[in-house]
Chain A
Amino acid sequence: MSKKKIAMKDGKPVISLNDIEKVRKLVLRWVNLMINGCAWVELPYLCMFVASYLKKLGIAVEIRVGIDIRGVEYCNIILLYVTDMEWPEENFKAEFMKRWNESHIVDEFIVLNEDDGNARHVALLSKIIENACQNLANYVSKQTKVKKTSKQPKTQQQ
């Protein structure tokens, strides 16, 4: 089966370092602004708002909210960098679901508890967003360098 990096188009990364930086700043600003006035019950909504921006970078997000066996409310946030992997062109969805359900492909995972308070929620959310953006930036830089290096011999021949 043929493989492709879904973050690449015509040999270039689809997202740039600039895109990552823009989304990172915007999302962190929203997290800081919104979470101060964000009630615990609205947290899933805030997280999905953030997810709609992270999606632009190829980050898939899963939010799990509920009540555990002790009766304590939790909010789990899972980030998956779709860009940093190879995917089959065919049967993409089935492969995606299969990998998603395997814990090793989860790149960032945090658990927020109501009692932790807003400050900790901001800190944890900011941390996984920072990590995700940093890792993506490293990936894009690496891809760009690889492309430049592979282009050089052609230029010399010309």
Chain B
Amino acid sequence: MKARQLTKDTVTQMRRDVMMLVGETEHLEYHSVQLQLAGKIASIVRCYGLNTTVRTMWSTDHSIDDVSLYLCYVIPSQEVRLKPDAELTYIFFDSYVNDHKARLLKQLTKFFDKLERIANKKLFNN
């Protein structure tokens, strides 16, 4: 399967799918829920041609208990860079933040706005 060309419509659909999923998710304060949500977001955005990395960080003394999600759009014709420096955005579920959902929605909105600007500019449409 080839990566889809990024258009305004695909960004709109992707935004709708992801935002709906996040909106429906409850108990985002739990690490296991964060992990599974990150995996679901990764599953969705991949269908639209985005590359993602989901990473867990953990320690037994609970000093670290976080999930991070890197999202990037691959420019067709360019080599896929796997390192996090290729990301368009970096979403971080921080255990010490109270309002996880609002924070996540804010980060995702910013990300999709950015993608939309890219699609409008037709930067990646060959």
**For the complex, what is the distance from the CA of A54 to the CA of B58, rounded to whole Å?**
10
The reply to whether B52 and A66 form a contact with Cβ atoms under 8 Å apart is yes
The reply to whether B2 and A71 form a contact with Cβ atoms under 8 Å apart is yes
Selected from A15, A45, A60, A64, the residue in CB contact (under 8 A) with B53 is A64
**For the complex, what is the distance from the CA of A115 to the CA of B19, rounded to whole Å?**
30
Using known A-B contacts A45-B36, A48-B36, A55-B31, determine if residue A67 contacts B1 with beta carbons closer than 8 Å: yes
State how many residues of chain B have any CB contact under 8 Å with chain A: 36
Using known A-B contacts A44-B43, A73-B46, determine if residue A60 contacts B57 with beta carbons closer than 8 Å: yes
State how many residues of chain A have any CB contact under 8 Å with chain B: 41
Selected from B40, B47, B60, B80, the residue in CB contact (under 8 A) with A9 is B60
Using known A-B contacts A6-B60, A60-B56, A67-B2, determine if residue A41 contacts B35 with beta carbons closer than 8 Å: no
Interface residues of chain B: helix, strand, loop or mixed (majority): mixed
A49 proximity list for chain B (CB < 8 A): 35-36, 39
**For the complex, what is the distance from the CA of A87 to the CA of B60, rounded to whole Å?**
12
Using known A-B contacts A69-B79, A82-B59, determine if residue A96 contacts B64 with beta carbons closer than 8 Å: yes
- What is the interface of chain A, defined by CB distance below 8 A to chain B? 6-7, 9, 14-15, 41-49, 51-52, 55, 58-69, 71, 73, 76, 82-83, 87, 92-93, 96, 100-101, 114
Q: List 7 A-B contacts (CB under 8 A).
A: A15-B60, A48-B54, A49-B36, A62-B54, A66-B50, A67-B3, A100-B55
- What is the interface of chain B, defined by CB distance below 8 A to chain A? 1-3, 31-32, 35-36, 38-40, 42-43, 46-47, 49-61, 63-64, 74, 78-80, 82-84
Query: In the complex, given contacts A52-B36, A62-B53, what are 13 additional A-B residue pairs having Cβ atoms less than 8 angstroms apart?
Result: A44-B40, A45-B40, A48-B36, A60-B56, A66-B46, A67-B1, A67-B3, A71-B1, A73-B1, A92-B64, A93-B57, A96-B57, A101-B83
